[in-house]
Chain A
Amino acid sequence: MSTPRYRNAEGPYFGRYGGRWMPESLVAALDELESAFRAAKTDEDFVAEYQRLSRDYTGRPSLLTEVPRFAAEAAGQGPAPRIFLKREDLNHTGSHKINNVLGQALLARRLGKTRLIAETGAGQHGVATATAAALFGMECVVYMGAEDTRRQALNVARMRLLGAEVVPVAHGAQTLKDAINEALRDWVASVETTHYVLGTVAGPHPFPEMVRWFHQVIGEEAREQILQITGRLPDAVTACVGGGSNAMGIFHGFLDDPEVALYGYEAGGEGLDSGRHASAITLGRSGVLHGARSYLMQDADGQTVDSHSISAGLDYPSVGPEHAYLADTGRVRYEPVTDAECMDAFEALCRTEGIIPAIESAHALAGAVRLTRSWGAEAANRSIVVSLSGRGDKDVATAAEWFDLLPPQDGSEAPETGVQA
C-alpha cells in the first residue's frame, strides 16, 4: 500500500467538516468519551474483548458471497462483472449496526454507565442497542420517530421483547432527525449515568471517528476476502449512505487503494426534482446539525428540510462529516438512487439469489447495477464489492405494498384458510 492518505483520519475535523456544534453541557461527556475511546483502542484487553464478542456473539467475520445470477441480470445483454456481497445482513440482529453498538456498550461499561439510549430510524440500530443492553444487563431507552414506529412496527416489537423502552417521537417530521433531537435532550439531563449510543458516523466529535473505527472491520475483512478469492482488489466498492456508517466501515479498507473506485449512494427518494429525497451531499450545501458541520438539507433560512426515502434508515437530512470531506476531495463519488431504482434491485436480488436485502442496502445494489451498465463491454473483467448492510425481514411489509403483493383490504377476496382471525 502507498503512504496513508485518507485512512485513520482523526477528528474533530475532516477538512472543514466535523467539530462539536453542541451545547456546552455535553462537552464534558464528549471529552470523557474521547479519552476512554483513545485509551481503549490501544488497550489489548479491550480490543480482545471486542474481538471475542464480534466473533462469538455477532458471528464475524461476515461472509463475502459472489452473486453471479444477480450480476448477469444487472448486465442484461452485456457482459457481467463479478459482484460480491459483504454480508453484514448475516450478523446477529441482522445488520452492520451491531459492530458499533457492541464497541460503544463496552466503552459505556468502562465509564461506569448503567443506561444506554439510542435513536433509531429503521429500527436496526435500536434493535442492536437493545440487544447489547440485554447482553450487558443495562437499562435501555430507544427514541424513534412516530412515523418510523409505523413503518417498522416489527422492529418496535423486537426492541420491546429485548426489554427496551421505545419512545415514539411525535415532533417535527417524526423521523430519524427528530429521534436524535429527543435522544440529545435525554442525554443532557442524564449524562452522569447514561451513554448515548449514536448509531452512525455523524454527531459531535468523537462519534464520527469512533463509530467508523468500530465498523472498519467490514472493510478490512472485505479487502482480505476479495484478494483471497480473485487475487486482486475490486474495481469498485458500493455502499448506501444514510449517516454513513456502513459506508465508512467498508470504504476505510480501500481508501488508500487509488485503483479501487468508491461509490456512496444516497436516498434519491422520489427524485431530486420532487424535493422528496435524502440526498444531502448531492445538493451540496454545508451547515451544522446534531453536532457536526457537514452537508445538510436546509432552506434559505437554515431550517432543516424534511428528508424522504422509502427506507427509514436513509431518511436523514445530513450525512457524517468524513463523507462530506471525501466527497469534496473526490476520493468517493456520491450519487442519489431513487426509491424505484432501489426497489428494482431489491426485487432482483430476492429473485436471482434468494437473499432479501434491507431496502437501505438495496441502494448499494442499485449502484452496482448502474455501474455495470455504465461499463458496457469493459464489465467483463471487472469486479464490485457491495456492502449488504442488512437483511430485509423488517422491510417485507413495505416491499409487499410497493409490489402490490397484499390481499385486498376489504377481505372480500381473502382466501379461505379455516383459521379464525
Chain B
Amino acid sequence: MTDSKTAAAIDSAAAEGRPAFIGYLPAGFPDKETSIAAAIELVRNGADVIEIGVPYSDPVMDGPVIQQATTEVLARGFRIAEVFEIVEAVTQATDAAVLVMTYYNIIDRMGPAEFARRLAEAGGAGAITPDLIPDEAEEWIAAVDAHGLDRVFLAAPTSTPQRLARIAEASRGFVYGVSLMGVTGAREAVSEAAERVVRGAKEAGAQRVCVGLGVSTRAHVEEIGAYADGVIVGTALVAALRDGGPQAVGRIAAELTGREI
C-alpha cells in the first residue's frame, strides 16, 4: 500500500498485468477547454496518470513539437492560474492521478510553499520538475511534503549509481527514467539506454520507474513495458491534439495502450 496518488495509479495498472500509461499534454493548448477535453479523452482511452505541462519561456528539455505548442499558448497571454484550473477539472472528471510538469522558475517565482498549496487544493497528485536535481531541491521537497504530494525527479543514462540513489531517495510516486540523451520528440527506436536506466534506478532503491522521451508507437510501449513500471508519451499526443483535436488524442492513446489497432 502507498499513500502516493501516483504510485497507487501505477500499482493498479501493475495489478492488471500492464505498465502504467502516462500521457503528457501542455496546459491550455490549444485553449483551456480543449486541453481539458483532451486530457479526459486520454484517461478514457487508457491513461492512468496525466502530466499537465506548464508552458515556459525557456523550455530547454523540449523538442520542436512541444516548444511550438507551448510558445503558441504563451503568445495568447496564458497565466499560471490556468494550470490549477485544468488540474482541478481533469481531477474531478476522471480518476487519474494528475501531475504538473514544470520548469523550476515557475515554482520559484510563486514560492514553493504556495505552489504546492495551490496544487494540492486543485486535487493534483504532485509535480515533475525536469530542470530540478535533488541537490537543489531542499525547499521544494519540504513544500510538497507539507501537502503529501508526489515529487518526480529524472534519472538519466549518464547518472552514476550514487546519483541514482539520491534521485530514488528524493522521488515520491516514481522515478522518471530518461530513455535517451536528448530532448522531447518522437524517435524511431527506443534507445538501449532506457533499460539500463530502469535497472540502475531500481538497484539504487527506486520502487517504481517509468520511462519517457521519444516514446511514440505501440511497439515502443510494449518494449519498455517489459521492464519499466510505466511508459510516458508526450510529443505523439501533442502532435495528435494539434492535428486532430481531443478525438485524435483519444485514438492514439487507445492505439498506444493496445485497446484497439
Contact = CB atoms under 8 A, between A and B. Distances in A.
Interface of A: 19-25, 27-29, 171-172, 177-178, 181, 184-185, 188-192, 287-290, 296, 298, 300-304
Interface size of B as a range? 35 or more
B167 interface: yes
Contacts of A177: 58
B132 A21 contact: yes
Contact of B158 (A19, A29, A289, A298): A29
A24 B135 CA distance: 10
Contacts of B132: 21
Nearest to A304: B57
B256 interface: no
A184 B130 CA distance: 14
A-B CB proximity, top 4 nearest = A302-B109, A28-B158, A189-B182, A25-B156
30 contacts: A19-B135, A19-B136, A20-B136, A21-B131, A21-B136, A22-B131, A22-B133, A23-B154, A24-B133, A24-B153, A24-B154, A24-B163, A25-B156, A28-B158, A28-B163, A171-B71, A178-B58, A185-B63, A188-B60, A189-B183, A287-B108, A288-B104, A288-B108, A289-B105, A298-B105, A301-B106, A301-B109, A302-B108, A302-B110, A303-B106
A25 B105 contact: no
Nearest to A183: B60
Interface string B68-80: 0001001000011
Most A CB atoms within 10 A — which of B61, B104, B131, B136?
B131
A302 B108 CA distance: 7
A189 B60 CA distance: 12
A181 B158 contact: no
Contacts of B67: 171
B181 interface: yes
B160 interface: yes
A23 B131 contact: yes
A172 B58 contact: yes
A288 B153 contact: no
B34 to A, nearest CB: 21
B109 A21 contact: no
Contacts of A191: 158, 181
Given A23-B156, A301-B110, 8 more contacts: A21-B133, A24-B133, A25-B156, A25-B181, A28-B159, A302-B56, A302-B105, A302-B108
Contact of B109 (A19, A22, A189, A298): A298
Interface of B: 56-61, 63, 67, 71, 74, 79-80, 104-110, 130-133, 135-136, 153-160, 163, 167, 178, 181-183
A188 B61 contact: yes
Nearest to B155: A24
Contact of A20 (B74, B108, B133): B133
Given A20-B135, A27-B156, A185 B109 contact: no
B60 A184 contact: yes
Most B CB atoms within 10 A — which of A23, A29, A296?
A23
A303 B56 contact: yes
B74 A23 contact: no
B183 A185 contact: yes
B156 A24 contact: yes
B179 to A, nearest CB: 11
B182 A188 contact: yes
Given A27-B158, A29-B158, A298-B109, A21 B183 contact: no
A307 B77 CA distance: 18
B117 to A, nearest CB: 16
B181 A287 contact: no
Contacts of B107: 302
A27 B183 contact: no
B190 to A, nearest CB: 16
Contacts of B58: 172, 177-178, 181, 289-290, 304
A285 to B, nearest CB: 8
A87 B178 CA distance: 47
A290 B80 CA distance: 21
A190 B182 CA distance: 8
A413 B60 CA distance: 49
Contacts of A178: 58
Nearest to A172: B57
